Chain A
């Protein structure tokens, strides 16, 4: 069986010769026409009767979509999800959204135009196109103008097309055979792709390293570290005693805190736990206990934890009879003022956290001394 023909192709010397040949071959209706030119030739679209490109409509739709995306996204972020007042402006100020809306519109529109033209409408890149194997492809990207008649449904009268192209003024005619089989992706291409991916990863990594580790240490970025504020524990020449950190003024109370008036634990005996015993409160208590108490008193609050040997101290066994009967007010006092080797920890907690951890301790004690009725 003779090899099947993909297309027959004529080369023309000038764009005008190509334009003149198009209607003559179109009239003969031998096959589908395709032109290859080194640059856009004016009037070729009309001569070949190409359909009007739908790209404009696509770009319009995507552009409007970009505008709306940016508008809704910014509105949701700035006005709904996380409203921050910047520069005294209403977080939903439309004026601040406009530049981003403009940018995203342009982004969506240009990507649609570029990628839609290349990938979707022209189905490029087509590295395996039979035309690329032809002799004509070497000059049709330079200074010759090629007109191809492609086989429709595998049928093409190569001799007739050849004659018609010559009659229409083609300087030379070439027959492009149908490729033997659809070429699969070669192993070389895959290896190349993998290598390119690896190189891209290394490059991106190097760039990230530079961006995160080195770039911030260079001026002017490093100037951001030089600030007139005082860091913790730093000396200050401003104060006479040259300490940067100041003790609060007499009678000062931390924001959200209340002064604790008692010095002796029996004074605090009467304090009652203001929190209800809910699951939420117990969860908070467990968190506070695990993060602060557990290391010395142990997970079961029996004074038998991991740290005891290294620490050498002897933390209280909170499951002992003494502490089972301990008034909650005195536990509170212990948290606030410390006891024996236990330091005062209360300043690090909120009022709710202190009382929640007491609830949790009570739950631990109850769990270790459960009665039959609890089952």
Chain B
């Protein structure tokens, strides 16, 4: 079923390239590469956060987060492939950019060789981090070696720096430079907030799915509640950052900044922006605000799906306005969604079939299972 969806989606995606053109193909490709990347990085951030803070409550959940973070591998492949999109999507990569002073002034940073080096460096750092954090954990299942816990804990602060810097680079390179005259200092934080939120939603969805299948039986209300609490908190954090960025630009009303929002605030894009605010903040906020809701698996399942959808909408809203005045959404977008969702599900499902559902070799697993609110 999922395989069929993936294959059909893949055909539609490939068809986009020839039937409609490379612009639409690469815009979709970029959105979905960033989607996979943000989910994978967000999940890995949750893993690293546990090691960094010496957290106990999330130890039983960690394997699920590690499995979701495996999406980093296809995400890195997709993002490296997206290097072919530079001349299609990015104005600074075209020869005429040299004659536009606002873009030519940024040529020291925005040039294809340096850009590619940055992308490959980020990819290397992400894969290394995933290898150390998820790999050591899997290794510990067999060896029960406490030294591996120490290794992961020592690596966690390094990953925090990697996460912060690479997210910043991704935000400048892949997102902001689609419209190279535009700039926003907080874009890195904005993407980080969305990324962690998407990672949390994916982990929550996976937990709900596994619990529904009778796996992760020892996971109690207290653990699920804490995960739901994170989801709730970062819904608010994302909204805070998103609004802060918008309000400062709206207030200052500088032509070189505000055109970015003006484009997204008029015509049909206005409704997309509104939908983003509703699906990314209003609905999840009120759905998760009651105490019981954060630990309710049924509630958490649909909120997680909604948040992932809203995160897709967020990335779509960041990338697609460069294609024109009207939001494009038709069979190519559905095809890409089918292909990437299907591929991601297959990828995660493969890892779900290997090894234990919890880090059974972790010396803190017992304490984690005994966690009470």
Task: Report, as a range, how many residues of chain A touch the other chain.
Answer: 10 to 19
- Contact of A56 with B250 in the complex, beta carbons under 8 Å: no
For residue A43, CB closer than 8 A to chain B, the reply is yes
For residue A114, CB closer than 8 A to chain B, the reply is no
Q: How distant is B138 from chain A, measured CB to nearest CB, in Å?
A: 32
For residue A322, CB closer than 8 A to chain B, the reply is no
A88 touches which one: B246, B253, B289, B372 (CB < 8 A)? B253
Measured in the bound complex, the distance between the Cα atoms of B289 and A99 in whole Å is 20
A60 touches which one: B246, B251, B289, B372 (CB < 8 A)? B289
- Contact of A95 with B253 in the complex, beta carbons under 8 Å: no
For residue B373, CB closer than 8 A to chain A, the reply is yes
- Contact of B372 with A43 in the complex, beta carbons under 8 Å: yes
Chain A residues touching B, majority SS: helix
Measured in the bound complex, the distance between the Cα atoms of B14 and A212 in whole Å is 71
B residues less than 8 Å from A56 (CB atoms) = 290-291
- Contact of B253 with A98 in the complex, beta carbons under 8 Å: no
Measured in the bound complex, the distance between the Cα atoms of B253 and A95 in whole Å is 13
For residue B150, CB closer than 8 A to chain A, the reply is no
A residues less than 8 Å from B109 (CB atoms) = none
Contact with B along A171-185 (1 / 0, CB 8 A): 000000000000000
- Contact of B253 with A87 in the complex, beta carbons under 8 Å: yes
For residue B334, CB closer than 8 A to chain A, the reply is no
For residue A96, CB closer than 8 A to chain B, the reply is yes
Measured in the bound complex, the distance between the Cα atoms of B289 and A89 in whole Å is 34
- Contact of B372 with A96 in the complex, beta carbons under 8 Å: no
Chain B residues touching A, majority SS: loop
- Contact of B291 with A95 in the complex, beta carbons under 8 Å: no
B side interface size, CB within 8 A: 11
What residue in chain B is nearest A53 (Cβ atoms)?
Answer: B291
Q: How distant is A89 from chain B, measured CB to nearest CB, in Å?
A: 8
- Contact of A95 with B246 in the complex, beta carbons under 8 Å: yes
For residue A229, CB closer than 8 A to chain B, the reply is no
Contact with A along B244-259 (1 / 0, CB 8 A): 0011001101000000
For residue A42, CB closer than 8 A to chain B, the reply is yes
Contact with A along B219-255 (1 / 0, CB 8 A): 0000000000000000000000001001100110100
Decide yes or no: A98 and B289 within 8 Å by CB, A42-B373, A43-B372, A87-B253 being known contacts: no
Find residues 36-71 in chain A having any chain B CB closer than 8 Å to their own CB. 42-43, 56, 60
A residues less than 8 Å from B290 (CB atoms) = 56
A residues less than 8 Å from B251 (CB atoms) = 87, 89, 95-96
A residues less than 8 Å from B253 (CB atoms) = 87-88
Measured in the bound complex, the distance between the Cα atoms of B251 and A43 in whole Å is 50
- Contact of A98 with B373 in the complex, beta carbons under 8 Å: no
B247 touches which one: A42, A43, A88, A98 (CB < 8 A)? A98
Decide yes or no: A98 and B243 within 8 Å by CB, A56-B290, A87-B251, A87-B253 being known contacts: yes
What residue in chain B is nearest A46 (Cβ atoms)?
Answer: B372
What residue in chain B is nearest A59 (Cβ atoms)?
Answer: B289
- Contact of B250 with A42 in the complex, beta carbons under 8 Å: no
- Contact of A42 with B372 in the complex, beta carbons under 8 Å: yes
Q: Using CB atoms and an 8 Å cutoff, list the residues of chain A in contact with chain B.
A: 42-43, 56, 60, 87-89, 95-96, 98-99
Complex A-B: 7 CB contacts under 8 Å: A43-B372, A56-B291, A60-B289, A87-B253, A88-B253, A95-B251, A96-B247
Closest 4 CB pairs of A and B: A42-B372, A95-B250, A95-B247, A56-B291
